[in-house]
């Protein structure tokens, strides 16, 4: 089998290729079953009864994902921008989806590299990252990724404002409540916990102001928090809708205003 043919098969839905489509369905099924296996494996009774079967499935899954990863790295050189046998493959391996592919299989091999088993076990939760491999097969997830990427400057600015608001609010609340509640607000870093749960509108209620100044400040910060949470959501949502609209304009045929015939949107 040629390198180009391998690439056509492992790439999602390559040119309507039936073999590629079957491979996509197979891989998506393995990914979903892996997530279910990780979740069920956390149940003690299931782990005790079916632990061996889950381990066998893990070995089979890792084998499939490893072969897929190696095949992608090996066959990527058919693309012009990755033609270099070494640097091209390195640049390809540093792409976000390829990093996710590597993280999906890495925890399985770490114990064989002499890593502390206790640390290796703690990395098992990383196996849940395999669900992110679905991004390669989901146009909706890809559209969300493009929406975040296209609005990264606005999101960075929003994050900076949120961090500044967090620092200011926790500092003010410390000065307002420290004397009245020295245990709840012993210092500014401790006050940041209250600021985080308030700005994110979670409001656990384990720490709250009791002074008049603290309550007034908390009311203002809570109102600001609603806007700060809604702002990045609105930015991503607007970008996502814009991307969907542009894609539909390209795909959907249009009618010529003169003759009424359907014309391509390209």
The pLDDT tens digits of the residues spanning 195-238 come to 888 888 787 878 888 999 999 998 998 888 888 778 887 887 78
In the chain, CATH 1.10.287.70 sits at: 152-263
The pLDDT tens digits of the residues spanning 166-190 come to 899 999 999 999 999 988 899 998 8
CATH code of the region 152-263: 1.10.287.70
- The radius of gyration computed from the CA coordinates of the chain, to the nearest angstrom, equals 26
Band of residue 162 on the pLDDT scale cut at 50, 70, 90: confident
Query: How large is the average pLDDT for residues 148-174?
Result: 87
Q: Which residue has the higher pLDDT, 120 or 84?
A: 84
**3-137 CATH pick, 3.30.2020.10, 1.20.120.350, 3.40.718.10, 3.40.50.10190:** 1.20.120.350
In the chain, CATH 1.20.120.350 sits at: 3-137
The pLDDT tens digits of the residues spanning 242-260 come to 777 776 665 555 555 555 5
pLDDT exceeds cutoff 70 at 152: yes
Query: What average pLDDT does the chain have?
Result: 81
Q: What is the pTM of this model?
A: 0.64
């Amino acid at each position: 089998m040629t390198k180009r043919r391998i690439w056509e098969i492992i790439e999602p839905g390559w040119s309507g290729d039936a073999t590629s489509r079957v491979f996509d369905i197979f891989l998506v099924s393995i990914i979903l079953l892996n997530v279910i296996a990780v979740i069920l494996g956390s149940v003690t009774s299931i782990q005790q009864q079916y632990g061996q079967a889950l381990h066998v499935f893990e070995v089979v899954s890792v084998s499939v994902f490893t072969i897929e990863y190696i095949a992608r790295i090996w066959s990527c050189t058919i693309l012009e921008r990755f033609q270099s046998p070494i640097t091209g493959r390195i640049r390809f391996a540093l792409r976000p989806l390829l990093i996710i592919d590597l993280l999906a299989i890495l925890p399985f091999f770490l114990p064989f590299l002499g890593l502390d088993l206790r640390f290796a076990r703690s990395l098992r939760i990383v196996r849940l990252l395999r669900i992110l491999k679905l991004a390669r097969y989901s146009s909706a997830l890809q559209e969300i990724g493009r929406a975040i990427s296209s609005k990264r400057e606005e999101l960075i600015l929003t994050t900076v404002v949120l961090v500044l608001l967090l620092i200011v609010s926790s500092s003010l609340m410390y000065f307002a409540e420290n004397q009245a509640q020295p245990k709840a607000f012993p210092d500014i870093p401790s006050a940041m916990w209250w600021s985080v749960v308030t700005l994110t509108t979670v409001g656990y209620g384990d720490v709250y102001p009791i002074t008049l100044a603290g309550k007034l400040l908390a009311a203002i910060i809570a109102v600001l928090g609603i806007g700060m949470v809604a702002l990045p959501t609105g930015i991503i949502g607007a970008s996502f809708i814009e991307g969907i609209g542009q894609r539909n304009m390209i795909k959907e045929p249009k009618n010529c205003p003169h003759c009424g015939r359907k014309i391509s949107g390209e």
